[in-house]
Amino acid sequence: MSEMNHPGLARQQALHQELTARVAEFSLRNSQGDTSMYLPLLKFLRNWLTDHILKEDRECGAWMNDHGVS
C-alpha cells in the first residue's frame, strides 16, 4: 500500500494498530485468568473478519487491482 501511495494507508495502519492493542489486551486478561473475556474476544474477532477483512481489505484490493497490482 505504501509503494502504491494508497489513499487509505493511514486508516489501514490505524485499524491494524487498534487490532494489535485489542489482541494484547485480551491476551493479558487471559493470562490473568479472566475467563469473562472469551465472549467479547469472539465478538471482536467476528467483527474484525466481517467488517475489516471483508470490507476494508476488499476495497483496498480492488483499488490496487485498478492501479496495476494483480
Average pLDDT over residues 40-61: 90
pLDDT of residue 43: 95
Average pLDDT over the chain reads 91
Q: Which domain, by its residues, includes 44?
A: 9-66
Residue 1 lies in a domain: no
Residue 27 lies in a domain: yes
Query: How many separate helices (H) and strands (E) can be counted in the chain?
Result: 3, 0
Among candidates 68, 52, 64, which has minimal Cα distance to 2? 64
Q: Is the pLDDT of residue 58 over 90?
A: no
pLDDT band at 60 (very low <50, low <70, confident <90, very high): confident
Q: Which residue has the higher pLDDT, 59 or 33?
A: 33
Structural domain total, the chain? 1
Name, in order, each residue with C-beta under 8 angstroms of 22's C-beta and a sequence gap of 6 or more.
Answer: 44
Q: 3 by DSSP, 3-state: which? A: coil
